[in-house]
Amino acid sequence: MSDMVERTLTALPGLFLQNQLGGPATSRAPFSSRLGGLIRGVTALSSKHEEEKLIQQELSSLKVTVAAPMTTLKMMKECMVRLIYCEMLGYDASFGYIHAIKLAQQGNLLEKRVGYLAVSLFLHENHELLLLLVNTVVKDLQSTNLVEVCMALTVVSQIFPREMIPAVLPLIEDKLQHSKEIIRRKAVLALYKFYLIAPNQVQHIHTKFRKALCDRDVGVMAASLHIYLRMIKENPSGYKDLTGSFVTILKQVVGGKLPVDFNYHSVPAPWLQIQLLRILGLLGKDDRRTSELMYDVLDESLRRAELNHNVTYAILFECVHTIYSIYPKSELLEKAVKCIGKFVLSPKINLKYLGLKALTYVIQQDPSLALQHQITIIECLDHPDPIIKREVK
């Protein structure tokens, strides 16, 4: 297996070189380098008018190719990539939309992947063509080939017509119990998407989300947090009983109990920590008893974040925000203010900006704590950066 990877990786630079050696976009050039030729063609032009001419020419030729019965799926895939490029530059390639759907439907794995990508980029939620995608998604969700299942789940998380959710909901719910964690994770994210566009359609499966939260795979658990964050925002009191679980998970993350791959520059799962801190902030607001459950882990997070890296500062910032959102505890508030000091006094502009932002939370809670930074605040009023000045006011 690993030597197949070796072979692919060594072949990759060769493939890129092939693209770069291709000539201008003429019919004599090998098909695969047409994209390369097009991009180079556009880059070489100096005026918008010339670019428009070249792209329109390209679009006309593509229009003919996609409609021709002789065009193979492989050729269609190459055309699709060029269509995506043209649309990205701002030109209309709507004649290609239906072919994107067909490509996702009929293509082999790689062609299907490009087809799905094209659909997610071209169409929007209310587009009438989107309904045509549903059958393909249903078929792929039931495929024995797990890569196809993954692709279908990915596209569902990106774009799906709200009216057709019932058609795929049972299939996706089923995937929540799949043996492969990547499928479970993508299923959770698809359900998250459904929650965002039609929350009442996923009401009945809240218990399944709880199962995802306790999943043995960290990725699946992390995915379920997206849904929880939203649900807790709408209705914090409904989830107070889960506070203990969230605190435990955060303790484990901060304590370095996760697999090492989740580390980012030696910091354990920073995005996960931030999600959890936000959730705790919402749960602990104006609620003394719930907040008391969190003080320890927040203290721990403040202490652990000692490395001098942007990511650590990001976590510290979120931690401070949480401390100031929940029921106040004086020692924690003071420790947090000391932390903010590091931000505001930092020569790095980004940190100063965040420090000032954090101070606004402090002032709302207890203006006297902010006094120690008064001088720095006043200095910032004269700062050359307008964003900093605005924050100070």
Partner 1 sequence: MMRFMLLFSRQGKLRLQKWYLATSDKEWKTMVVLAHKPKMCSFLEWRDLKVVCKRYASLYFCCAIEGQDNELITLELIHRYVELLDKYFGSTCELDIIFNFEKVSFILDEVLMGGDVQDTSGKSVLKAIKQADLLQEEVESPHSVLGEMGLA
**Interface of this chain with partner 1, residues 330 to 389, rule: CB under 8 A:** 349-351, 353-354, 385, 387-388
Q: Which stretch binds partner 1 (CB under 8 A): 134-142, 168-176, 244-252, 257-265?
A: 257-265
> 315, 275 in Cβ contact below 8 A?
no
Footprint on residues 182-211 left by partner 1 (CB under 8 A): 182, 185, 189, 192-193, 196
* Of 43 and 330, CB closest to partner 1: 43
Q: Which two tokens stand for residue 29?
A: 């050039």
Q: Please choose, from the candidates 346, 294, 281, 351, the residue with its C-alpha nearest in 3D space to the C-alpha of residue 320.
A: 281
Q: Please choose, from the candidates 233, 235, 274, 284, the residue with its C-alpha nearest in 3D space to the C-alpha of residue 254.
A: 274
Residue 227 CB, shortest distance to partner 1, in Å, is 10
Please work out, in degrees rounded to the nearest 5, the angle formed at the alpha carbon of residue 346 by the alpha carbons of 361 and 337.
35
- Long-range contact list for 302-308, CB < 8 A, 24+ apart? 302/332, 302/335, 302/336, 302/339, 304/254, 307/266, 307/267
**Phi and psi, residue 263, nearest 5°:** -80, 145
Which of residues 25, 55, 104, 150 is near partner 1 by CB under 8 A?
150
| Under rule CB under 8 A, residue 8 binds partner 1 | yes
Q: How far apart, in whole angstroms, are the C-alpha atoms of residue 344 and residue 44?
A: 46
* Of 292 and 389, CB closest to partner 1: 389
Please work out, in degrees rounded to the nearest 5, the angle formed at the alpha carbon of residue 345 by the alpha carbons of 344 and 349.
65
Residue 260 CB, shortest distance to partner 1, in Å, is 8
Task: Give the H/E segment covering residue 263.
Answer: strand 263-264
Residue 368 CB, shortest distance to partner 1, in Å, is 26
* Of 315 and 344, CB closest to partner 1: 315
Q: How many CB atoms lie within 10 A of CB 179?
A: 7
* DSSP-based helix, strand, coil % in the chain, nearest 5: 80, 0, 20
Residue 335 CB, shortest distance to partner 1, in Å, is 19
Q: Which two tokens stand for residue 140?
A: 């792929």
Q: Which stretch binds partner 1 (CB under 8 A): 130-138, 293-301, 309-317, 360-368?
A: 309-317
Which of residues 269, 283, 320, 340 is near partner 1 by CB under 8 A?
269
* Of 13 and 170, CB closest to partner 1: 13
| Under rule CB under 8 A, residue 251 binds partner 1 | no
Footprint on residues 65-94 left by partner 1 (CB under 8 A): 81, 84-85, 88-89
Q: How far apart, in whole angstroms, are the C-alpha atoms of residue 1 and residue 3?
A: 5
Residue 219 CB, shortest distance to partner 1, in Å, is 4
Q: In a 3-state reduction of DSSP, which class is residue 268?
A: strand
Q: Please choose, from the candidates 229, 222, 169, 224, the residue with its C-alpha nearest in 3D space to the C-alpha of residue 200.
A: 169
Q: Which stretch binds partner 1 (CB under 8 A): 107-115, 129-137, 205-213, 283-291?
A: 107-115
Which of residues 28, 49, 124, 216 is near partner 1 by CB under 8 A?
124
Residue 274 CB, shortest distance to partner 1, in Å, is 6
| Under rule CB under 8 A, residue 322 binds partner 1 | no
Footprint on residues 271-290 left by partner 1 (CB under 8 A): 271-272, 274-275
Footprint on residues 13-32 left by partner 1 (CB under 8 A): 13, 16, 19-20
| Under rule CB under 8 A, residue 1 binds partner 1 | yes
Write the secondary structure of 179-223 as one string of H (helix), E (strand) and C (coil). CCHHHHHHHHHHHHHHHHHCHHHHHHHHHHHHHHHCCCCHHHHHH
Alpha helix (H) ranges present in 270-327? Answer: 270-284, 288-292, 295-304, 310-325
| Under rule CB under 8 A, residue 262 binds partner 1 | yes
* Of 125 and 163, CB closest to partner 1: 125
* Of 39 and 292, CB closest to partner 1: 39
Which of residues 248, 264, 345, 379 is near partner 1 by CB under 8 A?
264
Q: Mark residues 217-236: x for contact with partner 1 by CB under 8 A, - for none.
A: -xx--xx--x----------
* Of 221 and 297, CB closest to partner 1: 221
